[in-house]
Each structure stands twice: as structure tokens, then as C-alpha cells.
């Protein structure tokens, strides 16, 4: 029982004693001994109360000891549970740590294997690339050596070419040599494009003039004269930076005079009515001179057009010759048209005969097919007759 229960019990006992005391007092007659009895009962009550208090203190002491013992036991149980829990937690933690350590070791092992494999792959790739790089380097060195050899050969050729250029410059320094150079270049271009029967070199005209080349083209183009001119001396002075501005202007003026003179000479000498075309071609062996005229001397070009002299360079002359060859081809085709027409007429006649013969053949094939069908019918009938005859003979033998 708890302390509160004991207090309730003692209070109830005291109240019960008081009630009993009052009842006893009421039953007894009133007198002088009432005070003594009350005092006696009071003393008893005090003694009982003291006893109850003593018992109560003892009960409280026992209860306190019991509670302390229960608390100690409960504390020991709690401590034991905490200890057990700690031990269990330590065991689980140790177990988990061991598992984690095993897993970590396995992962480290796998990672190590993966890294080793990756390093092997990288090492293989590096070795392969180094080998390829060495091979390419060796190949590059080999190519460099070959190219150096080619460069040496090229330098030798350049040296030879320089010698040839010097020789060419010496050749071009003379007017006759320049003229011969232009004629040789013109001849090479014409022979590469035109058929032999459609041009003539160093051709003499009716006026006694000798043209470098004459192209024999069909009407309305007619025969076209080509003459090579090479005004190099004044052009070199005009473009040479070693000369001063005044000297270059004088050279430019002389260059224009030379070109005009060549244009007039060609127009006067090589354009002949009823013998040549109404225009002639002046061939300039240097592309630079041709470009100079068209870029900075439009008046000279217009003068050439007015005199019906067509200025050409090696490139533009090639185009002119290609066009002339196309004209010759078209003319040859046009001349052969009547032969083509005759052959087409004969081909049409042959085709008509072929069609008639093919129709006759088709008729014969149809007739042959009809005959084959009839023969097949007759053969079938004959076979049927033989079958019937065999049946009749078999019946007679059976009888």
C-alpha cells in the first residue's frame, strides 16, 4: 500500500473511534466521571495516534526502502538493458563494419583490377600509337629525304632553266629572234588545233605580201590572215622600275606607237577584198602585253576594232582556233547532208522491202500453224481409228 492509502486508513480509524466514544458517552448517564472518561479516551486516542504515527513512520520507512530497492533494481535492469543494447549495438556495428570492410575490400579489388586493365589498355594504345608514330616519323623522314632529292633535282633544273631563261632573254633581245619566237609559238598553236589542209604557213598573198599564217575557212568567214607581232622592247622599258617616270612615259608612248603601226600594217597588207576575210588577227605571244592593252590602253583596242584587226594572246587565239575548227566541222557536216539524205531514202526503201517480206513471212507462219493444227487433228483421228481396231480384235479373240 502507498503512503496515501495509509493516511486514509488512519483517518478512518480515528473517525471510527471518535464515533464509538460519542456513542459510549451518550449511553452512559451524565455525571462527574465524564471528564475523566473523556480525558482517558483522549489519552488513549493520543496513544493510538502516536502508535499509528509510529506505524506510519515505520511503514513510510519500509515503503521508502522498498521504493529505493525497486528503483535500484529498476536502475540495474535499465543499466543491464543499456549494457545489453550497447553490446548488441557493438556486435551489430562490428558485424556491419566487417561486412563493409569485406565489401570495400571487394570493391577495391575490382577497382584495382579495372584500373590495371585500363592501364594495360592505355599502355597498349600508347605503345601502338608510339609505334605508328615512329612508323609515320620514319615514313616522313623517308619522304623528306625523297623530297630533298627532288628539291636537289629541281634546283638543278632551276639552274638549267635560269641558263635557258638567260638564253631566252638573249634571244628576245633581237627583233628578228623575237619575230621567229612568235612565229614558232603561233605555228605550235595552229598545228595543235587545226587540220593541215585548212591552214597555210608563210602564205604568199596576191599582193605579194607573205603572211605568217592563213586559215582557210568556209564562207561567209573566208580566209583569215594571222600575223605575229612582239613589241617587247618598249614594253620592258615601260614596266621596268629601274627607269624614271619620264623614261617610262616615253616608253609607254613608244609602245602605243609600235602597236598602232603593227595594227595599220596588218590592216593595209593582209585584208584584201575577195581574197581574205574583212578582218585579220594580230597574235601577241605574251599574255602580259595583251593584258596591258586591254587594261590600260582602251584607245588602242578601239583603234584595232575600227581597223578590223583582232588582238589575240596565246590563250585567246586557242579559243579562236577552237571556234574555227567547229566552223569547219559544221561545214563538213552540212556538205555531207545530201549524202545522208540519200542513204536515208535508201534505208527507207530497204525498210519497206523488209516490212513486205516480214508480212509474207508472218502469213506463211500463220499458214504453217494452221497446217500443223490440221495435221495434229488428222493424227488424233488416225490414232483413234487404230485404238478402235485393236478393241475389235481383242473382242474377237475373247469370243
Q: State pLDDT tens for residues 14-70.
A: 677 666 666 666 665 454 465 666 667 667 767 776 777 777 777 778 877 888 888
Ranges of beta strands (E only) in 96-219 are 199-204, 210-216
224/160 Cα distance (integer angstroms): 39
Reduce the DSSP state of residue 193 to 3 states and report it.
helix
The gap between the terminal CA atoms of the chain, to the nearest Å, is 144
Quickly count: other Cβ atoms within 10 Å of residue 37's Cβ.
14
Q: Is the pLDDT of residue 303 over 80?
A: yes
Show me where the domains of the chain are located: 176-340
Ranges of beta strands (E only) in the chain are 199-204, 210-216, 223-228, 280-283, 309-312
The confidence score (pLDDT) of residue 308 equals 93
Instruction: Please write the tens of the pLDDT for every residue from 123-153.
Output: 777 777 777 766 776 777 677 777 767 776 7
Q: Is the pLDDT of residue 170 over 60?
A: no
| Region at 359 (left for phi over 0; alpha for psi -120 to 50; beta for the rest) | alpha
Reduce the DSSP state of residue 215 to 3 states and report it.
strand
Q: Please provide the average confidence, as pLDDT, over all residues in the chain.
A: 77
The confidence score (pLDDT) of residue 261 equals 92
206/270 Cα distance (integer angstroms): 10
Q: Which of 327, 326, 330, 214 is nearest to 269 (CA)?
A: 214
Mean pLDDT score, 66-87 = 81
The confidence score (pLDDT) of residue 4 equals 62
φ and ψ of 310, to 5 deg: -95, 120
Q: Is the pLDDT of residue 168 over 50?
A: no
Q: Is the pLDDT of residue 315 over 80?
A: yes
Map grid coordinates 584595232 to a residue.
304
216 DSSP β-pair partners: 223
Cell numbers given for 54: 509510529
pLDDT bin (cut points 50, 70, 90) of residue 309 is very high
The confidence score (pLDDT) of residue 244 equals 84
Q: Give just the sign of the alpha carbon dihedral 48, 49, 50, 53.
A: positive
What global pTM score does this model have? 0.44
Cell numbers given for 84: 545489453
Amino acid at each position: 500500500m502507498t503512503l496515501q492509502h495509509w493516511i486514509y486508513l488512519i483517518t478512518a480509524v480515528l473517525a471510527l473511534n471518535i464515533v464509538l466514544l460519542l456513542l459510549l458517552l451518550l449511553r452512559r448517564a451524565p455525571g462527574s466521571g465524564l471528564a475523566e472518561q473523556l480525558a482517558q479516551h483522549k489519552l488513549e486516542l493520543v496513544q493510538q495516534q502516536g502508535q499509528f504515527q509510529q506505524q506510519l513512520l515505520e511503514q513510510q520507512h519500509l515503503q521508502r526502502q522498498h521504493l529505493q530497492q525497486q528503483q535500484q533494481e529498476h536502475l540495474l535492469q535499465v543499466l543491464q538493458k543499456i549494457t545489453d543494447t550497447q553490446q548488441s549495438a557493438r556486435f551489430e556495428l562490428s558485424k556491419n563494419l566487417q561486412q563493409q570492410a569485406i565489401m570495400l575490400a571487394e570493391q577495391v579489388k575490382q577497382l584495382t583490377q579495372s584500373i590495371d586493365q585500363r592501364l594495360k589498355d592505355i599502355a597498349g594504345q600508347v605503345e601502338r600509337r608510339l609505334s605508328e608514330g615512329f612508323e609515320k616519323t620514319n615514313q616522313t623522314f623517308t619522304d623528306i629525304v625523297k623530297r630533298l632529292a627532288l628539291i636537289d633535282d629541281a634546283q638543278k633544273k632551276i639552274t638549267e632553266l635560269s641558263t635557258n631563261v638567260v638564253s631566252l632573254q638573249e634571244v628576245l633581245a633581237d627583233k628578228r629572234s623575237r619575230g621567229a619566237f612568235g612565229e614558232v609559238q603561233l605555228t605550235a598553236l595552229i598545228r595543235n588545233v587545226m587540220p593541215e589542209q585548212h591552214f597555210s604557213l608563210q602564205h604568199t598573198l596576191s599582193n605579194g605580201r607573205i603572211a605568217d599564217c592563213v586559215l582557210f575557212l568556209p564562207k561567209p568567214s573566208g580566209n583569215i590572215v594571222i600575223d605575229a607581232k612582239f613589241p617587247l622592247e618598249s614594253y620592258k622599258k615601260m614596266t621596268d622600275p629601274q627607269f624614271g617616270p619620264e623614261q617610262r612615259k616615253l616608253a609607254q608612248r613608244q609602245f602605243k606607237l609600235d602597236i598602232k603601226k603593227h595594227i595599220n600594217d596588218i590592216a593595209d597588207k593582209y585584208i584584201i577584198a575577195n581574197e581574205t576575210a574583212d578582218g585579220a588577227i594580230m597574235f601577241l605571244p605574251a599574255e602580259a602585253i595583251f593584258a596591258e592593252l586591254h587594261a590600260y590602253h582602251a584607245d588602242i583596242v578601239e583603234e584595232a576594232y575600227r581597223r578590223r584587226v583582232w588582238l589575240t594572246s596565246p590563250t585567246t587565239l586557242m579559243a579562236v582556233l577552237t571556234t574555227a575548227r567547229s566552223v569547219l566541222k559544221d561545214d563538213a557536216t552540212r556538205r555531207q547532208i545530201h549524202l545522208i539524205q540519200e542513204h536515208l531514202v535508201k534505208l527507207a526503201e530497204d525498210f519497206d522491202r523488209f516490212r513486205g517480206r516480214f508480212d509474207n513471212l508472218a502469213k506463211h507462219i500463220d499458214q504453217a500453224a494452221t497446217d500443223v493444227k490440221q495435221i495434229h487433228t488428222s493424227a488424233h483421228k488416225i490414232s483413234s481409228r487404230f485404238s478402235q481396231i485393236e478393241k475389235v480384235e481383242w473382242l474377237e479373240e475373247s469370243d
